[in-house]
A and B are shown apart, each in its own frame.
Chain A
């Protein structure tokens, strides 16, 4: 056993095979070293290098016709911005480029890109077609191995050039990180304008990078907690109309809205099931509230909890089998997990303070939450069994996390305190990379859509 303990201190470690055999022999390290010497070349361990953003060069996309120069630059900027904001890439300033890419069909002079320390290179071309459509082509190169890693072409109407840029960003992200991208997605949020006493709250939608803001409601009524449907172009949200707050469905394409169920008392904190066929929400009954799920086709409602406590903020696991929610049945608000059909619930949050707004990652690995304690509001994540709790950001008021479609990034809103209003931020699940999301005014209650494509 002793030799195993000694290993980490040695500047040059034994190889894994040696260690495994060493453990097997339990203390006969010399025996295992002899064993390892017999195999192949000497193994040199390079352990635990630091994570570092990948230096990538993205020269302006070539214009297929002279009229396409502007859109070429625009697409390049959107891609560069996306990759940079992800925190996983370090786009190199165009001023440093030695080579000007003129023809994307020929292999670039990799030495020129090596010189500026680029490890990846994106070349592309935008061409207006005879039929009015826009053709976008791109190639992703590995500078050191001089190989093409990805290459695609897309056709679209010219007004959707930003979406093309997001799709290309996703391709690059996926190829270089091994994760699905999240750039081709939207955010629905509550846009807030006006003075604090008479804040106008409108439902708004935008691309994940803050572009293309659209307003969905006029602001006559107070709206809260909008949530995207995973499978359709629908939103569910809570609205304070003339009477009690109600849960509504809103169709983005048609602009139609309908009330979900007709319940006595308040209904609030709605969320879609992963298949988009059901909406789970809280219904108030007397002094407490319980969780109900409603099938959108049959309109049948099922009660999931029956406690004298406040159960709210339900969120499905990605496979739809379980639900995490917030409940104060133990005294303070805490996070509980139970089967999607109801039944006994298991408390998973045990830290100091209270936990609220749990949301299950689309990857299924984490549950994000708002934690209140010590005079601060924090955004954090924990594994689905409650272990490995990690706070990503803390401050005066942070609330309402929502996961990007790949489960790697969270968006939330933050109020600085004082006279200002809330704004939207993203933070990756390591907590390293926090970014403000540009919005026209104050913004709160963001919800991330699934990938559009």
Chain B
């Protein structure tokens, strides 16, 4: 049986094969090594909140040193507005001396946009420290007030003291011990900004403010890179508890400056193997491509390899 084949068909097929084959050859390439993008958390905040993030004051000047009104243990005040008075508690006869009580939440704070980043931000009144003082009925309010009035160059903004609205209370629970505080008609006040050295100039704040670091960004980058080399040993039940931490120093080019230093000695053979596998991964995956801007942060840090579910 003879099959008649169209020559043009053959030519067409041959040509297609050639073109497609050439295309497959020349267009194939190694997959691009995509560098993970920096994660940029975005929050919409008011200028007031910005001032808080910058650890500065809206009306301040550009000075690197923070405002300090009183030499004491550094305890910057978040919103340096208002008259300085250590307002003593109003103790009435009827109320028994309040037991070492739970914090009296007078100023519920709006949720912080970068809570982790600026640890020193809460208003003083939420601090446990001032509360320790409050139950002490021996403080003489007058002597205390006089002491306060003696010194203190007023902070520059004080002239333009904004009307401080009485913060709405969220806690509606009736608390007998708070009645006195409610009846207290004195001006709202704050505590002195303390620090190592006196500095009467309020500052506009720093570029980074009190944001602790940018480890969310470069930490994720480091994690993504080191995970590629990590051959985690299979460990069964006890693997769920494993953790290995190291202290590592990186050079600017992302290579290790020295051997990673493991934290602690592993207790079991599996933990030893787990730690070794992590160590191998750290060494094998260098150099790390981390944002140069944050070199000061990632030149020395502690990667923690963990199986513990948070």
Contacts and interface: CB of A to CB of B under 8 A. Distances in A.
A264 interface: no
B84 interface: no
A196 interface: no
Interface string B208-228: 000011011001101100110
B232 A50 contact: yes
Interface string A62-90: 00000000000000000000000000100
B137 to A, nearest CB: 27
Interface in B103-149: 112, 115-116, 119-122
B283 interface: yes
A404 B273 CA distance: 21
Given A30-B121, A49-B305, A176 B233 contact: yes
A43 to B, nearest CB: 5
B308 interface: yes
Contacts of A16: 243, 304, 306, 308, 310
Contact of B230 (A12, A29, A49): A49
Interface in A282-303: none
A429 interface: yes
Contact of A37 (B212, B216, B259): B212
Contact of B271 (A174, A175, A178, A179): A178
Contact of A12 (B121, B219, B236, B283): B219
A415 to B, nearest CB: 29
Contact of B116 (A14, A53, A55, A428): A14
Interface in A131-163: 142-145
Interface in A156-189: 174-179
B302 interface: yes
Contacts of A179: 269-270
Contact of B301 (A30, A43, A176): A43
Given A41-B247, A145-B279, A33 B116 contact: yes
B306 A178 contact: no
B259 to A, nearest CB: 8
A114 interface: yes
Contacts of B120: 34
Contact of A29 (B116, B279, B310): B116
B243 A40 contact: no
A438 B71 CA distance: 82
Contacts of B298: 42
B310 A19 contact: yes
Nearest to B282: A144
A47 interface: yes
Nearest to B213: A42
Interface in B249-304: 259, 268-274, 276-280, 283-284, 297-298, 300-304
B302 to A, nearest CB: 4
Contact of A177 (B122, B227, B273): B273
**Interface magnitude class on chain B:** 35 or more
A436 B85 CA distance: 82
Nearest to A38: B119
B119 A55 contact: no
Given A29-B115, A30-B119, A49-B305, A44 B223 contact: yes
A151 B230 CA distance: 25
Nearest to B278: A46
Nearest to B218: A44
B284 to A, nearest CB: 5
Given A44-B215, A44-B219, A145 B271 contact: no
A8 B310 contact: yes
Interface in A420-449: 428-430
B156 interface: no
Nearest to A408: B236
A365 interface: yes
A4 to B, nearest CB: 8
A142 B226 CA distance: 18
Nearest to B223: A46
Given A145-B280, A178-B233, A48 B274 contact: no
A15 B304 contact: yes
A106 interface: no
A397 interface: no
B227 A49 contact: yes
Contacts of B198: none
A182 B46 CA distance: 65
Contacts of B213: 42
Contacts of B32: none
Contact of B223 (A30, A45, A88, A114): A45
A88 B234 contact: yes
A56 B231 CA distance: 11
A55 B215 CA distance: 31
Contact of A51 (B223, B232, B270, B284): B232
B284 A177 contact: no
B98 interface: no
A232 interface: no
B272 A178 contact: yes
B50 interface: no
Given A16-B243, A144-B279, A42 B297 contact: yes
Contact of A46 (B283, B300, B305): B305
Contacts of B223: 44-46
Nearest to B260: A145
Contacts of B232: 49-52
B307 interface: yes
A11 B216 contact: yes
B39 interface: yes
B237 A365 contact: yes
B235 interface: yes
Contact of B222 (A10, A34, A44, A145): A44
A17 to B, nearest CB: 10
B245 interface: yes
A54 interface: yes
Nearest to A119: B280
A10 B226 CA distance: 19
A46 B303 contact: yes
Given A43-B245, A144-B283, A176-B233, 17 more contacts: A11-B220, A12-B215, A16-B243, A30-B112, A41-B247, A42-B297, A43-B301, A44-B223, A45-B219, A45-B304, A48-B307, A49-B305, A142-B276, A142-B280, A145-B259, A178-B268, A178-B273
Sorted nearest first, the 7 A-B pairs with minimum C-beta distance are: A178-B270, A34-B119, A178-B269, A178-B273, A12-B216, A44-B219, A144-B283
9 contacts: A30-B121, A34-B119, A41-B302, A45-B303, A46-B226, A176-B233, A178-B270, A408-B236, A430-B234
Interface of B: 39, 112, 115-116, 119-122, 212-213, 215-216, 219-220, 222-223, 226-227, 230-237, 243, 245, 247, 259, 268-274, 276-280, 283-284, 297-298, 300-308, 310
